[in-house]
Structure 1
């Protein structure tokens, strides 16, 4: 399912124009992204949790040259599905 598919489904289910549904979908994902950028956890009941996780710097190796290098520290975003979503997916 793509973002446009979500927009179409929301518009059909709620009787919205596609433009209004797109604004709603864009706002929702924008709010989740903004919260993640601040380091906040986003928990959606029955769906799951989005949380950030710090990954420390570490030593690595360039696979093409074999040269040692340092991989920079980064922040990753992780999604943990709720039990209700897991149950729905697994039947």
Structure 2
């Protein structure tokens, strides 16, 4: 797997599947891509994604608001947009807290 303080990548996930399940490296990489593809497709279609014991990816609609340029102080409208947020499950939060 990835280094302790590093970043977990798709390749790391595929390697973990290869090592733990025994699929070929190509099949493992394909499985990771399919799972991520399903998640992206669901989010693009306006669905939230919940992975039990891990967390939820939730779409939120943010309305139009007024922002301010910090250099000039000029007010500018910020267009409404949809944002993606992640909320870790309680199990994940507990696990992270124990790792400290």
CA RMSD in angstroms, aligned pairs only = 1.3
Structure 2: state its 5+ residue gaps: 1-7
2:40 corresponds to: 33
1:74 corresponds to: 81
8 A contact 1:39–1:51 mirrored in 2: no
1:9 corresponds to: 16
TM-score normalised to structure 2 length: 0.81
TM-score normalised to structure 1 length: 0.88
Measured against aligned partners, the alpha-carbon deviations of 1:12-68 in whole angstroms (never above 9, x if no partner) come to 111111111111111111111111111112111111111100111111123344332
User: In 1, distance between residues paired with 2:34 and 2:85?
Assistant: 20
Match of residue 58, structure 2, among 47, 51, 58: 51
